[in-house]
Amino acid sequence: MGGMHGFGPVVVPGCEHVCEEPWEARTFAMSTIVGIEGIGHGGGRPIREEMSPEHYLRASYYERWLWSTEQRLLRKGTIAPGEVDDWVDRLLAGEPVPRRIDPAQAARDRAATSEVSPLGEARETRFALGDRVRVRRWRHAGHTRCPRYIRGVEGEVTAVRGTARLPDIGPYQGPVEPVYSVSFRSGDVFGPSDEPGWTLWLDLTETYLEAA
């Protein structure tokens, strides 16, 4: 969304809240547990990007998470189409949400959130610190981690962060590549501004870059 216009102010009433309502926190937790327990297919982030733009922008934040969680469960075959709708009807008819207690699962899921998978160590890199690079212009269908606003812009390699799989294939199943920190000048990205110049720093996978 970088550089888009028309969204209005950032600081608005209620903007400090992490969650407005209990269902949002529970949706976050369900989404997280679906991943930990391996009962969904695909990642929430790329699936949320499959929402149509008007649906994406109209939906609240955790509404998107709810949608992607349901999709992941459907794609794995863990739930069947219509099963959530059936439960909506049952709840509206007054039936309570069933409860089930499983302390082992609670402990397992809680502990799993402290697991980490850091970037790999970069040994061979195409670009070196200080190199001038340009972000490739390309039309890509589907998930990417190369923002539209930075394509075609020239910047400088300032760090090698490590290695990761190219997100665009799979997604997150592409070849293992170096990830660079690249700095850009605001004027090169957005043109003249009333504000004093600033700099933008992005982490970009090698495929996104070409020598400038």
Of residues 28-87, those binding another protein (CB under 8 A): 28-30, 32-34, 37, 39, 45, 48, 57, 60-63, 66, 69-70, 73, 78-79, 83-85, 87
Dihedral angle over CA of 21, 25, 30, 31, nearest 10 = 110
* Of the candidate residues 52, 54, 101, 211, the single one contacting another protein (CB under 8 A): 101
Residue 86: CB minimum distance to another protein, A: 8
Block residue for tokens 């888009």? 4
Measured from the CB atom, the residue of 30 and 131 that comes closer to another protein is: 30
d(Cα 90, Cα 133) in Å, to the nearest integer? 57
Measured from the CB atom, the residue of 138 and 198 that comes closer to another protein is: 198
Let me know: does 178 contact 163? Beta carbons within 8 Å: yes
* Of the candidate residues 168, 179, 206, 207, the single one contacting another protein (CB under 8 A): 179
Residue 195: CB minimum distance to another protein, A: 5
Q: What does the block give as tokens for 7?
A: 């969204």
Residue 200: CB minimum distance to another protein, A: 5
Residue 211: CB minimum distance to another protein, A: 20
Q: How far is CA 129 from CA 56, 158, 160, 165, 178, in A?
A: 38, 5, 8, 21, 13
Number of residues that bind another protein (CB under 8 A): 100
Instruction: Give the list of residues 6+ apart from residue 33 with CB closer than 8 angstroms, or none.
Output: 109
